[in-house]
Structure 1
C-alpha cells in the first residue's frame, strides 16, 4: 500500500468518512464566471505593442 493511500486509510479509519481532496475554501463556486470576466478584461487591456 502506498504511503498516501495508507495515510488516507488511517484518517478514514479514525474519522469514519473520507475527507475531500480540497476544502470548500479552496473551491470557488463562481470560478467560471470570473474566468470569462478576467479574459474579457485582458482582451480589452492588451497593450498596443502586443496586438
Structure 2
C-alpha cells in the first residue's frame, strides 16, 4: 500500500510554542508584506450603498447594436 501523502499544511498558521512576541512580529511582517487582507468594512456592509449604480453603469456600457 503506498504511503499516504502528508496533508496540506497551513503555511500561514503560527508555529506551535511560539511566544507572544514572535507571533506579534510575524503578524506585523505579514501585514507589511501583504497589507490588510480584508478591509474593515466592505461596500456590501455599507448602508449608504444603493445597489443600483453598478447596474446602471453596466447598462450604459452596452453598445447600441446590442440595445
Q: Classify the TM-score, shorter chain.
A: 0.3 to 0.5
Task: Give TM-score scaled by structure 1 length.
Answer: 0.38
Structure showing greater radius of gyration is 2
Greater helix proportion: 1
Task: Give TM-score scaled by structure 2 length.
Answer: 0.34
